Amino acid sequence: MKQLRIKVLVGLFLVAGVLAWAGARLWDSMGSLPSVPLAAPIVLALIAAVLAATAFSFRARLRAQRERRPGAKGVEPLVAARAVVFGQASALVASLVAGLYGGVGVFLLTSGMDVAPRRDQAIYAGLSVLAGAAVVAAAIFLERVCKLPEDEDEAGAPAA
């Protein structure tokens, strides 16, 4: 399984942000802009919390297993692999969604913050970007926790 690449996540965020900004400008010129749902940052924050809780749980269980504590419950490899795949997928989707809300938020910030509904929408968009970043951070942390140590052969060189 390949590791998440920060460059891919940042690129996805930036491309989605630029497209969302352009789409928001176009949509606003034709009428009213669709609203940013209040649930967007909440759902992203819940996903980040689940990923972080899983990472902390796995880290504690793996540490107990390494220290050979009596009754230590290890982590099944398939469960860890599924958690990492869920984290990677969540990070990709979160960077896309954060880019979309970031682009809309930038449009809302530049189009006039004197209208209360637009100001609220810009706040929701900003919170969505922050929650999306939290999902990415939690997914990367989970991936690092579940990473296997590098194997070395008898000669001391890394195994192929």
Q: How far apart (Å, rounded) are the C-alpha atoms in residues 100 and 121?
A: 13
Whether 72 maps to a domain, the answer reads yes
Closest CA to 48 of 127, 148, 120: 127
Q: What is the DSSP letter of 3?
A: P
Is residue 160 pLDDT above 50, yes or no?
no
Whether 49 maps to a domain, the answer reads yes
Whether 65 maps to a domain, the answer reads yes
Q: DSSP assignment of 99-140, as one string?
A: HHHHHHHHHHHHH-S-SHHHHHHHHHHHHHHHHHHHHHHHHH
Whether 156 maps to a domain, the answer reads no
pLDDT over 70 percentage in the chain = 91
Whole-prediction pTM: 0.85
Is residue 154 pLDDT above 50, yes or no?
no
Question: What mean pLDDT, rounded, does the chain reach?
Answer: 87
Residues whose CB falls within 8 Å of the CB of residue 79, separated by 6 or more in sequence, listed in order: none
- Structure confidence at residue 146 (pLDDT): 87
Q: Which of 4-18, 48-62, 114-128, 139-153 is predicted with the least confidence, judged by mean pLDDT?
A: 139-153
Look at the chain and report how many structural domains it folds into. Answer: 1
Closest CA to 133 of 86, 94, 101, 106: 94
18 pLDDT band (50/70/90 cuts)?
Answer: very high
pLDDT digits (tens, 9 = 90+) for 105-150: 999 888 877 777 788 889 999 999 999 999 999 999 999 988 866 6
Q: How far apart (Å, rounded) are the C-alpha atoms in residues 86 and 142?
A: 10
What is the domain range of residue 41?
9-25+35-146
Closest CA to 101 of 29, 21, 46: 21
Q: What is the DSSP letter of 152?
A: B
